[in-house]
Structure 1
């Protein structure tokens, strides 16, 4: 005997509108913008889609993309790292100085630079967690400290603010295969940095979407107090995120060093804001708790295409800064609009 009562369907079993699901994805706005920029420069600039042109803007995007993905994870966790840019120069300078000036093995110098970078990232996390100071202030202080060390120590040791002579270091050519090599693909010359970019983005996406640490990252960025009450180890999560950003800085530093075989004391300075912009354009919210690694990678692709597209079009390069500011403002407004529409459509 069937009951006459009408059983209301559980809201959780109601199939979501596919368009709503799509709009909820953090990277959807960036993907549309990337397609628009690709079409624009493809139409207006002949060199943009040539094998040499594609190779150039993909490589440029990869360096920014690796850092943008790491910065996006940290932003999802509710923090910022303004020392991310200068870290790329610091690690490259360390390897360059100890190998060319002091004769230390390159096989020791490269992992030692990683250890130093991770230690700095851990120190940033320790200060943020223990003191309660905003990560903006803590990492800004780290930025100035590293910038001063880079300039002063490099000049004191080498007499200049750059390191050269890496090609003469024993083992350089072997390590270059890992960080500075390239290979042909469909008529293009693809540098190994692009492979690193894809691997890092894939790994970061898997961690965010498939692991407990990924869930913790979203929870910490959304509401750290609530996350702590629910058993999330907030200090450990922030430690891992800051160390990830520092590790990414080491990786980009090695990719640049073994690509051009020189290191500059000014490398990476100012680029920390570009990483943040790429992450925001990719869908990360400045207040944390929302975003994706894929979105940050697409944001970096947008920047790389625009950077090289302006060069190919022979425009005044100063327009790039104006574009960045406009892109940041539009991305923030678009993300807020899309989120509101998606929630209203539920």
Structure 2
């Protein structure tokens, strides 16, 4: 009896400590971005091994730039998916924004800054219409935005061909307002011989802002609520219609932003660009832990998903492989990333405490 009573005080604190540790580990594993982070580390190590040129600091910032061109719009798409909706027009509206700015300003002789503002109004209107139709008609956002996708794609090609006689916008590098717009949207600076594009800074700031909104604000709670169950959210006073329309408008706004970057980076745009990018945005969000059913995910995970795209697309080039294998290799990496994400999530929910 005396031996049993002396051992009890020793074992009890040990068991309590284990419960605390396991509780913290489960909380970490349950975070949406954990699976993507594990996949990103594995892919990063893989390319460090097979591609020596991938190891330089300049290569890392090139990867970050590539990721930012996907990640900026993917932030908004991720928020929209957490809110329970999709936007299949997110890829082509990037091209629509740039073409609108270029054609409107060039053929009417208007300053590019004014043209960019008018282009922004157009994109915001598209986002509003997408959201309004989804909420008013009850038609799934997949179908509404698929219609928007085809409309914008056709207008991009048809109007550009009608106005220019070709399928590309004119070169705008000599027009009024170009220098300022180029500096803002497509500028870069060098630190220690490394080129850092403004788009990378914008991307990181947007990720931080989105993460703060989701985790620290009432709007973030609303987004999770409408994605989980919009009927229940409406019952407790969440303005479901305003939240979802706002999310669609956010996608269009960041699509416009990347459209401005693309136009002022290359000075001209091909009218057929952007088709297919909507799937890259969605997959970046899914790889980052966002559920297709809505109500779960975060901005950091979406950013990691975009970073995986950047590593994969450029890692193949640095490794000296045939770029034609990019899609196949990308698909393998994405499947592995999703499997790791699902495995880690399953581990976090099945592991017993104590």
Does TM-score exceed 0.5, indicating one fold?
yes
Gaps of 5+ in 1: 1-13
Match for 1:279 among 274, 282, 285? 285
Whose helix fraction is larger, Structure 1's or Structure 2's? Answer: 2
Match for 1:39 among 20, 39, 45? 45
Q: 1:213-261 CA deviation, whole Å, 9 max, x = no partner?
A: 1001111111111111111111111011100111110011011111111
Give the structure-1-normalised TM-score: 0.92
Alignment of 1:1-346 (within 5 A): 17-345=23-351
SS of 1:101's equivalent in the other structure is helix
Name the stretch that deviates more: 68-77 or 48-57.
Answer: 48-57
8 A Cα contact 1:23 1:342, kept in partner: yes
8 A Cα contact 1:282 1:294, kept in partner: yes
**CA distance in 1 between partners of 2:239 and 2:299 (Å):** 22
Partner of 2:14: none
Give the structure-2-normalised TM-score: 0.90
Q: 1:104-140 CA deviation, whole Å, 9 max, x = no partner?
A: 1212111211111111001000111111111110000
Name the stretch that deviates more: 77-86 or 318-327.
Answer: 318-327
**CA distance in 1 between partners of 2:326 and 2:224 (Å):** 32
Structure 1 pair 190/81, CA: closer, same or farther in 2 (3 Å)?
same
8 A Cα contact 1:280 1:328, kept in partner: no
Gaps of 5+ in 2: 1-18
Q: CA RMSD in A?
A: 1.5
**CA distance in 2 between partners of 1:51 and 1:327 (Å):** 23
Structure 1 pair 98/59, CA: closer, same or farther in 2 (3 Å)?
same
SS of 1:118's equivalent in the other structure is helix
Q: How many residues align?
A: 333
Q: Which has the larger radius of gyration?
A: 2
Deviation at 1:75, TM superposition (A): 0.4
Name the stretch that deviates more: 84-93 or 335-344.
Answer: 335-344
**CA distance in 2 between partners of 1:324 and 1:120 (Å):** 31
Deviation at 1:194, TM superposition (A): 0.5
